[in-house]
Structure formats: C-alpha cells, structure tokens
C-alpha cells in the first residue's frame, strides 16, 4: 500500500482525536525515524519525551525478547521477579520507599490523587479535602488527571470534574499560600511544566512549597512524567535542588517505549494511605513492562546517559540562545537539559510542518512554542544538524 492509502484507511478506522502529520512511520534507528517510503527524519520529539535511549538499542530489545519467552503476564495476585527488581531500582535512583506500577502517566496521577485523599481521610475521617494544582499544568486526560490540569480548555467539555481542586501560579508562593485552608491535603505540580510551555519550577518556589507542606502536614506531589528519567540532567528534576517530594509520578521514558508508569511515595505516606482493596490495576507491574524498566535503568548507568544530557543539553542551550538572538521571530528561550523551548511571536505550526518536510521532527508546547525533547543519547552533531535544518525552515 502507498502512504496515502494507509492514511485513508486510518481515517476510516481510528477515532479522530488527533491531528496527525501526514506521514506513516515504519522503523527507527538511533535518533532517526524512517517512513514507509524510506525517508529519514532526525527525531527531536522522541515520542513526546519517551524514547530516551533512541531506536534499535540492541541490549534493550534483547531484554524484552528474553522476557517474552519467559512470561508476559500473570496478575498482582502473585509476585514476579521483574517487578521486584524494577521497584528496587526505582527506589535506588529516586530515594522513595514505596512503588505502585501503572500503565501510563495519567494513571500514576490518579493514584497520587487517591493517595493524598486517603492520607488526609485517615487523619480526620473527612472526605472534603482539597488539592492545590497549578495553572497551565498538564497531568493527563482521565477525569482525575483532567481535574488537576490547569487549562480550562481541556476540562470544559467534560465538567463536572472531581471536586475540591484549586489552582495557584507556578513560582508564585503567595498564590499558593492564598489557597491553603485546613482542608488542603496536597500541592501538586510538574517540576518542569511541559505542555504548559517549558516552565521550570524555581529552587526558591520548591523550597517554600516544601516548607509549607511540612508545616501543615500537606503532601507535596511532583509530576515527573515528562521532565523525569534524566531529561534535565538528573534522574528526576527535583534532585537538582535536593528537595524531596512525598509522592512522585513517573512514566514516558521509564519504559522507553513500553507503556508503563509508576507513582512512588515515602514510607510515612505508604504506611498511612492506600491499603489492600484501595487501588489496583490488571496490567500494573506486568513482567514485560517491568523488564523494560529494569533494562532502562541498567542502560542509563552503563551508557552514562545523565552525563550525555548535561553535556549535550548545555550545547543545545547555547545553540538555541544563538537562534534567539539571530531571529526576531523568537522572543524567549526556556528549559534545562534536553527539555527546552523557543517562544515565538506567532503560531509555530508552519515551522514544524516545514521542518517535517525537511526531515526534522519537532513538536510544539502550546501554539507559540517549539519544544525540543529529543532522545537523551543525541550528540552535538545531531544538534548541529537540527539547527541547520531549522534555520533552513526559518
């Protein structure tokens, strides 16, 4: 079949919830993708910050093939070795104490919300507790995750959301303080806002939120679904500041292509929140998904991924600063590591479409921001190639 025919078949069969680019991708190798006609694309999207290790990593692929031959699924009525090992590795790199495996980031957020409400319920027996989230945040598409997503456009058609959610402004501690009441059970935010425009939380804001939570026995929940797993140069973005949350969510690059997520918590929260019967999932902790996590964790260490992010991330920052000064269309540059964005005076759709024609995959973060979230194994040469193509498009 020709590409046009595949696209026509997709349009007949798939629910129209995505405005897809008009290409059909077939395979990947390293940091490049290829469509069914063999055209090569330099990938600076990584499946929306998922494919951290790039495409065709043999050690990763072999680990998954080995697990397929052993055991794909049992259920959470039984233990399995990959889940045990994956939980141990996550604890080691995160410093958290308890892990619950999910199928996605949105499910991890759901679990974090339930954890906070159960924690508060066990303290006073009440069910009217409030969660403070942030404006311009994005946490997922399920009803609970939408409820704490700070963009009314995503929520309005699906009201009513779950109740008792308030919104404050990221990096504005006074706006957070103004929302706190004796019913507040959690403050939830992305350590670096992704969809909302690549806005990192400041160290001072993080410390002040941590102090507020400690003073009022409120849970600090950090969403590390996009900004975690090495993307900022630390395994998790909050580790740049040494400010530990009570609950944390992860997904995306956690499985590097296999759908898996997790929420983690401290021992204190684990001992005073969810118990048997409170939460569950059929596929969470699946041996196949957890084998992926184990191999990802091993490869992050053996391939020195964090070192590469720090080095190449700094180089990418310099090159994007150059674009900011060279082209009047750009007004601001934000981000850290390999999670950066260029703010434009006008919608970036035409630039991204032109880049695709030229063999470069980019995505936006809001209408006016080009988002750069490539595989974490890119090189300085890949950055140079990207800049060359992007300049041609500009």
pLDDT digits (tens, 9 = 90+) for 327-356: 999 999 999 999 999 999 999 999 999 999
pLDDT exceeds cutoff 90 at 1 = no
What contacts 277, CB < 8 A, 6 or more positions away? none
- pLDDT tens, residue by residue, 190-224: 999 999 999 999 999 999 999 999 999 999 999 99
Q: What is the pLDDT of residue 313?
A: 98
Q: Which of 289, 318, 130, 305 has the alpha carbon at shortest distance from 232?
A: 305
Average pLDDT (360-389) is 97
- What's the start-to-end Cα distance of the chain, in Å? 34
Confidence (pLDDT) at 60: 98
Q: For residue range 36-75, list pLDDT tens digits in order.
A: 999 999 999 999 999 999 999 999 999 999 999 999 999 9
Both tokens of 168, joined, read 């404050």
Residue 285 — pLDDT band, cuts 50, 70, 90?
very high
The mean predicted confidence, pLDDT, of the chain is 97
Whole-number pLDDT of residue 235 = 98
Q: How far apart are CA 246 and CA 238, in angstroms?
A: 12
Percent of the chain residues past pLDDT 90, beyond the cut: 99
The rounded percent of the chain whose pLDDT value lies above 70 is 100
For residue 104, pLDDT over 90 is answered with yes
What is the per-residue pLDDT across 118-164, written as a single tens digit (0 to 9) for each? 999 999 999 999 999 999 999 999 999 999 999 999 999 999 999 99
- 59-302 fold: 3.40.640
Q: Where are the domains of the chain?
A: 59-302
């Amino acid at each position: 079949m020709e590409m046009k025919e595949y696209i026509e078949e997709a349009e007949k069969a798939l629910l129209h919830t995505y405005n897809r680019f008009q290409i059909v991708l077939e395979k990947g190798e390293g940091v490049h993708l290829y469509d069914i006609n063999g055209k090569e694309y330099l990938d600076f999207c990584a499946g929306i910050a998922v494919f951290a290790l790039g495409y065709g990593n043999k050690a990763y692929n072999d680990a998954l093939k080995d697990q397929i031959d052993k055991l794909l699924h049992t259920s959470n009525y039984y233990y399995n070795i990959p889940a045990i090992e994956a939980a141990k590795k996550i604890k080691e790199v995160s410093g958290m104490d308890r892990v619950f495996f999910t199928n996605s980031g949105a499910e991890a957020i759901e679990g974090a919300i339930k954890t906070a409400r159960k924690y508060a319920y066990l303290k006073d027996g009440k069910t009217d507790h409030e969660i403070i989230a942030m404006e311009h945040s994005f946490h997922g598409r399920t009803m609970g995750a939408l409820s704490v997503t700070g963009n009314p456009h995503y929520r309005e058609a699906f009201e009513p959301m779950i109740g008792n959610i308030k919104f404050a402004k990221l990096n504005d501690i006074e706006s957070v303080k103004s929302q706190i009441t004796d019913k507040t059970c959690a403050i939830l935010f992305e350590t670096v806002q992704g969809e909302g425009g690549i806005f990192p939380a400041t160290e001072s804001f993080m410390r002040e939120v941590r102090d507020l939570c400690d003073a009022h026995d409120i849970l600090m929940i950090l969403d590390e679904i996009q900004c975690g797993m090495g993307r900022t140069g630390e395994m998790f973005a909050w580790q740049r500041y040494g400010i530990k949350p009570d609950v944390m969510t992860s997904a995306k690059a956690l499985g590097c292509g296999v759908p898996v997520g997790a929420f983690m918590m401290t021992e204190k929260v684990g001992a005073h929140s969810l118990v048997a019967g409170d939460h569950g999932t059929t596929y969470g902790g699946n041996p196949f998904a957890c084998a992926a996590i184990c191999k990802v964790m091993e490869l992050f260490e053996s391939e020195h991924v964090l070192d590469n992010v720090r080095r190449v991330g700094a180089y990418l920052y310099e090159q994007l600063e150059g674009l900011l000064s060279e082209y009047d269309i750009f007004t601001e540059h934000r981000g850290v590591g390999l999670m950066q964005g260029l703010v434009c005076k006008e919608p970036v759709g035409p630039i991204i479409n032109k880049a695709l024609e030229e063999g470069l995959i980019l995505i936006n973060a809001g209408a006016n921001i080009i988002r750069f979230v490539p595989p974490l194994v890119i090189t300085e040469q890949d950055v140079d190639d990207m800049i060359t193509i992007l300049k041609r498009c500009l």
